[in-house]
Every structure is written in C-alpha cells, then in structure tokens.
Structure 1
Amino acid sequence: MWFSIVVALPDAFPTLCLFMFCKVNRAEFTVNSQPQVIGSSQPIIAAPGYDVILPCHLEPAIDVQGFTVEWSKPDLKPDPSDRLSRVEYVHLYRDRREVPDMKIPSYIRRTALFTDDMKHGNISLKIMNVTSEDEGRYKCFIPKLRSPVKFSIVRLVVDPAVPDASAAPLSISVLVCHVVVGIPYLMTTILLVFICRDKRRGENQSSCMRHKPRRNHGDGLNNKTTHSS
C-alpha cells in the first residue's frame, strides 16, 4: 500500500531559504577573507655555515608590525631546571621590537625578522650561520590574530651535501670585477700603441725628407748648355 504525504510550506519559505543562503555565503566569505598564517609546505634545505630564510607570511596580507610574532621549536621541550617552566623562543617580536630575554641561547644574535616588510604581512625568519643543531620544525605563531589559522610549521633540514650555491655568483662577480678594472688598462695600452705607431711614422717621414736629394736647377741649365754646344 502506498501513502502520499503532502507537506504544506508557508509562502515565506523561498524568502527564508534565500536569507539562509545569504547568511551562509556571507559567513564563508568572512572566514575566507580573514588573514591566515602560511608557511612553506616544502622543507627548507641549507648547508652548515650559511644563512637561511624560513618563509612565512599572511594571506591576505595585513600590517602585523603591531602584533606579537613568535618563532619557536615545538619539538624542543622546556628546560627541567627552569622552575618557571618558561617557553624559550627562537625569536620573539613584541611591542614592535625583538625581546631577547626569553630567547634560546644558541640563537642569540643569529635571528632576525624583516621588520620593514612586516607591514605587507611578511613574517619570515632569517637564521644566520646555521648548524646541524638548528635542524627541525619551526612554528610561526601570531597569538592575537583574529583567524582560525594563527600558526604554521616550517621544517629546516641542514645538509652538508648541499652544493655551494654562492660559488657561481662569486665567480661571476670576480669576473665582472676583473673586466671593469681591466678595461681602462686595455684602452690605455691600445691608445699608447696607436700614439707610438703614429709617432714612429712621423719620424720616418721626417727622416726621408731630410735625406732626399734636392734638385739643382743650375746643374740642369749647365747640362742643357753642354748638349747644345
């Protein structure tokens, strides 16, 4: 036996559906328009002794110069000898300046943010003179960011087998330096060669003029007289 059920919908149902659809779309737009912390999805590989940049930024870009930015190593456990169990940072930026008091000792004077670019949402971290101890995961975190995505993880790999990327630019720079310095000497040498050649040519012409016998008009008359007699 089949039953048919008829549901009576109010006349305002289409308007209600449209209102709910607009509310949902507006909520999705609000979430998508909120800035999100985005780091590199690929590991950053560097050779020991070189500087490295751990890329991280906000998308869409906003000015974060007035925000607190924390770079830490989430896999690094607090020091058990620290009675306060303080969390030490790789780099801590607060009140528009670096706060070195809570910094991991091995990173002192080795890290920096691009503070001029923070107004464009750039919160990348530069680590100078990397060592094998720096390898691991790094967390970039903005605590007071109004967004569901306030942090990102960037992995650093320190590999001695990484080829020296600075060798080629260094050779080119040295070559350019030699060319720039050598061109004036080359031009001077060429100019001196032309001057000496012209000078010698002039001396040869003067010498030829001095040794060229002059024609005696009197001798010509005497010869004519002799032949006529």
Structure 2
Amino acid sequence: MENLLEQYTEEELWKQYKDSRDPSIRDTFIKQYAPLVRYVAGKVSVGMPHNVEFDDLVGYGVFGLFDAIDKFDPEKHVKFKTYAVTRIRGAIFDELRSIDWVPRSVRQKTRELEDTVQHLEASLGRSASDAEIANKMGISVNDFQKVLLKISGTSILSLNDVWYTGEENDKVSIVDSIESPTSLNPDTIVEKDEIKRVIVEAIQSLPEKEKKVLVLYYYEDLTLKEIGKVLEVTESRVSQLHTKAIMRLRSKLTNIKKGIF
C-alpha cells in the first residue's frame, strides 16, 4: 500500500477521510498510530496482576484506536493523539471491567480501604496518616502498606470511572482532570465544568507527595521507577503513594458525586 502520508499532510488526510471514509486512509492512520496502542497498554499494565497479559491489553486497545479514527473530528482543534489516548485507554478499561479480572478478595479489600479512608478523613477534616488508617482497619502499618501494593491495579482502574455522561464522547474522569488540569473546553456544559472543577480541587488538596506522584505519572508521563528517582523513594513506595492518592480522591469525590447527581 502506498504511503499516503508522503503525499499529503496528516491534516489533509483527516479532511479527506471525514468526507470519503476511504479505507486506505483509515489503514494509513491505523499503521501510523499502532505504536500508540502499545504505549497506552504499557502504561495501563503497571500495577496489574500477572494474570493480565500485556498482549491482551494491546488487543483491547486496538478497538479503541479504531473507534478514535472513526469518530475523530479534526474541526474541533484537538490533536488526534490526545483524543486517541483517551479512547484507547477507555477501550482497555471497558474490557477489563467486562471480564471482571479483579479477584473478589482484592475487590473486598479495596472497598474496605475506601470506606475507611472516606469515614476517617470526613471525621478528621484532613488527610489521614498511614498509622491512623491502619489503626482504624485494625492492622499494622506494615500490613497496610502491603494492602496498598496488592490493590494497586484496581486503583488505576478506578481513575477511569466516569463522573458525567451526557452526549456521546462527553464525559469526565479523574484521570482526564489529572492529565489536563487547566484545560477546560469552552463548549463544555456547565455541569461538566463544575465536576471537573471539584475533581481538580480534590487533587490539589492531596498530601504534597501523593499529588506529585499523580501529576508526574499522568501529566508528565514518567514511569513509577522515574518518579521514585525524583522523589528519592523506592518504586514500590511510589506505587503505594499512587494507590493512597486514588483512595483519597475517591473518598473525597463520593459525597460530591452524590450531591451533584
């Protein structure tokens, strides 16, 4: 197949594809952005249990790429790569939810930790320490930190919970707010703006080190190992900080979500 990107700019091809739906143009985009699927799958695979295969994640993500190519609108002035990453990641997490990959014991422990953090921080009026959370759960700090590592995969999944769904493609997730903390679409409806605002505020209220982990991982695109070097802690400690940050965010947002909907 001839390389259409040698004959036209990508912008020109998008305009042609929108008008013609030419399969050869679609194939060109698939080939061009296939590495993006592996990149997103690699990011998602961090913290996942061993029973979740990387190649399976890539397979799920391919469907997201197909969807992104078919639904991308070049007139909205959003880079395709930015749009596609959201679609690819969403397809991966949709499939993970459908196959119910999280062991029941892990899901129960995640729910227990979320409930503990939610009630404890509501009563304290501040972020709870590891010792306070562990004490409330009736376990040692060391065991609490082991729990954080055990449920790290589910915390990444929970970042993609949708907090508002209106028209097709119109939704806000926690991870979207981390990745673009200041970029609000001017065409977005008031409710979506409000939810994005409270998510950003919840992120800002996290303990400084946990907030740094989220921003470095999702916004600056560093790996957990690279973040560990920045913060001068181990990779497993970064994973624990990440999981705690997500638990806190979910506890803060649960009541807000109930109040909005």
- Computing the radius of gyration over CA atoms, which structure comes out larger, 1 or 2? 1
More strand per residue: 1 or 2? 1
Higher relative contact order (CA 8 A, sep 6+): 1
TM-score, normalized by length of structure 1? 0.19
Compare the two structures and name the one with the higher helix fraction: 2
